[in-house]
Structure formats: structure tokens, C-alpha cells
Amino acid sequence: GENVEQHPSTLSVQEGDSAVIKCTYSDSASNYFPWYKQELGKRPQLIIDIRSNVGEKKDQRIAVTLNKTAKHFSLHITETQPEDSAVYFCAASIGGNEKLTFGTGTRLTIIP
């Protein structure tokens, strides 16, 4: 089955700087890659996703890039703000399969 690895496990950045979280996946058949944000005590919420026919997608301060050849994808957050502090999870799913395989999460802390 699919295996998703996520790095780093913790990340601290100064407010206003950029943050990058990276994930790798094992199954080349995977074609859907969502990112979830989970604030303390809350549910995971989808913030952005990318499909395998797209190399990059941007939504305001967040962007995701996908390298199918290398089987990795990354989340980029620019101009970080205190409200970006949360745990971020990447995930992958194989085409035609509803099941998501999640990474282990990255705890992002924005330092004011």
C-alpha cells in the first residue's frame, strides 16, 4: 500500500518568514494530494490540494508543488502569521480509491 513520509516533524519560523513542509509518497499510482491544517483541539481541515496533472497550485499565501518523477510534494506558506500556527498533515490517495494515507504531521509554530 501507499506510504507517506513527512518532514520536518516540528518547524518554528519568525512571523513574516516563509515555511516549507515536505512529503514523499511511495506509490506512483497516487494522483491526489491534499493538505490539512489542524489547530489545537480542532478537527483537521482541508486547506489546499493538488492533482497529479498539475505541478503547482496557489491560494493566497499558501502553495503546493508536486514532483511526480521524484514522488514528492511540498506545502509553502509565505508571509507567515500567528494564526498559521497549527499541525499540518499531508496525504495521498491512489486513483479511484477513496482512502487517504496521511503523513505523521508537522507542528508549525510562528514566533511573533
Residues near another protein (CB under 8 A) are 31-32, 34, 36, 42-46, 49, 51, 89, 93, 95-100, 102, 104-105
CB-wise, 80 or 88, nearer to another protein?
88
**Nearest distance from C-beta of residue 24 to another protein, angstroms:** 16
Strand partners, 32: 51, 93
The rounded Cα 96 to chain-centroid distance in angstroms is: 21
Residues 6+ apart with CB under 8 A from 79: 16, 18, 61
**Nearest distance from C-beta of residue 26 to another protein, angstroms:** 16
State how beta strands 72-77 and 62-67 pair: antiparallel
**Nearest distance from C-beta of residue 20 to another protein, angstroms:** 21
Cell, residue 109: 509554530
CB-wise, 13 or 47, nearer to another protein?
47
